[in-house]
Amino acid sequence: MRPIQYFSDEYLERCKGITTEQVLEFLETFRKMQEKPKKSKLISLKVPEPMLESFKQKSALEGIKYQTKIKSLMQDWLTQ
């Protein structure tokens, strides 16, 4: 049996403003999440505390985990 997902009117209204690029980004991110994870390497990185706290807060405002955002920025830099 499949679960039923309900959306609030507020959420549906917000979705009306989504651009084609945002839809494509969501679909690509979802596709990547379904891939078999590649092996990761744990690293240690010293970052000034105020910078890290600000980064965490800004990431939270974007609705993304800060470590995921760091990896995304690294990937963007590598593919430039």
Please answer whether residues 69 and 59 qualify as being in contact, where contact means their C-beta atoms are separated by less than 8 angstroms.
yes
* d(C-alpha 23, C-alpha 29), whole Å: 10
Q: Tens digits of per-residue pLDDT, 10-59?
A: 989 988 999 999 999 989 988 887 887 778 889 999 999 999 999 999 99
* d(C-alpha 12, C-alpha 10), whole Å: 6
18 sits in which H/E element: none
Distance between the two ends of the chain, CA-based, in angstroms? 45
pTM over 0.85: no
